[in-house]
Amino acid sequence: MKRFLALLATCATVLGLTALTGPQAVAAAGCTADYTITSQWQGGFQAAVKVTNLGTPVTGWKLTFALPDAGQKVVQGWNATWSQSGSAVTAAGADWNGTLATGATAEAGFVGSFTGANPSPTAFALNGVACTGSIGEPPADSDGGTPVDVNGQLHVCGVHLCNQYDRPVQLRGMSTHGIQWFDECYDAASLDALANDWKSDLLRIAMYVQEDGYETDPAGFTRRVNDLVDMAEARGMYALIDFHTLTPGDPNANLDRAKTFFASVAARNAGKKNVIYEIANEPNGVSWTAVKSYAEQVIPVIRAADPDAVVIVGTRGWSSLGVSDGSDESEVVNSPVDATNIMYAFHFYAASHKDAYRSTLSRAAARLPLFVTEFGTVSATGGGEMDRASTTAWLDLLDQLKISYANWTYSDAPESSAAFRPGTCGGGDYSGSGVLTESGTLLKNRISTPDSFPTG
């Protein structure tokens, strides 16, 4: 369900700002910089900057620029060390993203305040070299239809999730809460909103095994999962079938149930292009060796019926690649699951899981195919205040690394991780400002931006 880690930066680097009034592009023989304000409210704003190094490799980079209005201040930033003196702002790369190879891009951002106007800066320098060139237009959004129409059957290529054109893609979407508790949140109206208003690429179907879930009615829960797969397919979304094991933390305790369930859903959905299987949500209190053994017994069951679908394997420490247990990605890198067309799950909750988790994700992404099948904007309990800065740093990193994600949770649960205010489900409105929580508003704004899936 909820707890754990986070992702971090790529080998490229990060930092940046952005202005709500529209992107300002500047570059030079040495660099390009794109500043955009991503959101703004009374007296405050959030900005992001994307920097591309066009010159020789840079180690220990610093981006400098001046805020045009005296009332503009940097309050809190991410993916760089931010400082301000008067109007002059400096963003310096962190230890994990301090090197920018030729052609490499770094992204970062900050929350700022302002008292007068909030204009965008127009002059940037990378390590003293002015960014005076121009940045090309971003790729146009694919106009070939729904996410499934455009991408077709997905597969793993290298460390990426790839589409039918063998091009890396990033899916962005939402996870249900436990369907035994919040089933009314997943009707035709809510999934229409998710596909058409939120423009979500996928629906993660969280089927708890214990906690009044699958073990109480295997046939009924299997039928409901299949119904949701069909509903996602009809709307052009991918369906991520989550065998939501949490307590007990050893997935082997549910090995027989997993084999029965996946044999059934794989046989029934083998002809579909929109299905992805997540075989163990958050292994905890168990070794990687035990998780690997479980995976190597369940995956053949799926492959016997559905040889082509992507399978996602949970990792130790609540799917933190072991970080929450004091380990790291090396145990998976050194002893990967003996199977093909698989990915590894990574989970984080932004208010609880920050730099150590991001650093692990950044390293691991160069060696392992990763999918963030669950993350939250709040603490690992699913409650507390939303951490906007950490959430944005995470999402910027996932975008940069093209790592797919599903947010917890598309529900009206009485917890701050929920996208909707309590009492929303069943009411017909799943997109209006009156029903969205702070977390739901942020996620809807991120997910609904164009995907620009590559087709060539």
pLDDT of residue 304: 98
pLDDT at 332 over 90: yes
Instruction: Provide the CATH number for the domain around residue 207.
Output: 3.20.20.80
pLDDT of residue 142: 52
189 and 47, same structural domain?
Answer: no
Question: How many whole angstroms separate alpha carbon 202 and alpha carbon 215?
Answer: 26
220 and 124, same structural domain?
Answer: no
121 and 198, same structural domain?
Answer: no
| Token pair for 161 | 């999730």
Instruction: Provide the CATH number for the domain around residue 96.
Output: 2.60.40.290
pLDDT of residue 143: 54
Catalytic residue among 233, 278, 374, 415: 374
Domain boundary residue, one of 101, 131, 161: 131
Kindly report, residue by residue over 274-330, the tens digit of the pLDDT. Answer: 999 999 999 999 999 999 999 999 999 999 999 999 999 999 999 999 999 999 999
Q: Is residue 200 part of a domain?
A: yes
Structural domain for 41, as ranges? 24-131
| Token pair for 24 | 């300002």
283 and 165, same structural domain?
Answer: yes
Q: Are 171 and 274 in contact (CB under 8 A)?
A: no
Domain boundary residue, one of 106, 131, 156: 131
Q: Is the pTM above the cut of 0.85?
A: no
pLDDT at 6 over 60: no
Q: Is residue 8 part of a domain?
A: no
Q: Is residue 426 part of a domain?
A: yes
Q: Is residue 276 part of a domain?
A: yes
Give the containing element (helix H, strand E) for 401: helix 388-401
Domain boundary residue, one of 131, 158, 193: 131
249 and 315, same structural domain?
Answer: yes
At residue 45, what are phi and psi to the nearest 5 degrees? Answer: -160, 165
- Three-state DSSP class for residue 160: strand
Mean pLDDT of the 111-134 span: 82
Q: Is residue 137 part of a domain?
A: no
166 and 76, same structural domain?
Answer: no
Mean pLDDT of the 327-346 span: 97
Catalytic residue among 233, 282, 331, 415: 282
151 and 126, same structural domain?
Answer: no
pLDDT at 15 over 70: no
Kindly report, residue by residue over 342-381, the tens digit of the pLDDT. Answer: 999 999 999 999 999 999 999 999 999 999 999 999 999 9
121 and 166, same structural domain?
Answer: no
pLDDT of residue 29: 44
Q: Is 282 in the active site?
A: yes
Nearest to 396 by CA among 117, 8, 55: 8
41 and 174, same structural domain?
Answer: no
| Token pair for 130 | 């002015």
314 and 199, same structural domain?
Answer: yes
pLDDT of residue 45: 87
439 and 362, same structural domain?
Answer: yes
pLDDT of residue 4: 30
Q: What is the mean pLDDT of the chain?
A: 88
Number of structural domains the chain divides into = 2
Q: Is residue 15 part of a domain?
A: no
Q: Is residue 10 part of a domain?
A: no
Kindly report, residue by residue over 22-41, the tens digit of the pLDDT. Answer: 333 333 346 888 888 887 88
226 and 335, same structural domain?
Answer: yes
- Confidence at 128, pLDDT banded by 50, 70, 90: confident
Percent of the chain's residues with pLDDT above 70: 90
- Confidence at 137, pLDDT banded by 50, 70, 90: very low
Kindly report, residue by residue over 217-266, the tens digit of the pLDDT. Answer: 999 999 999 999 999 999 999 999 999 999 999 999 999 999 999 999 99
Nearest to 127 by CA among 9, 8, 10, 13: 13
Give the containing element (helix H, strand E) for 456: none
Q: Is residue 418 part of a domain?
A: yes
Q: Is 374 in the active site?
A: yes
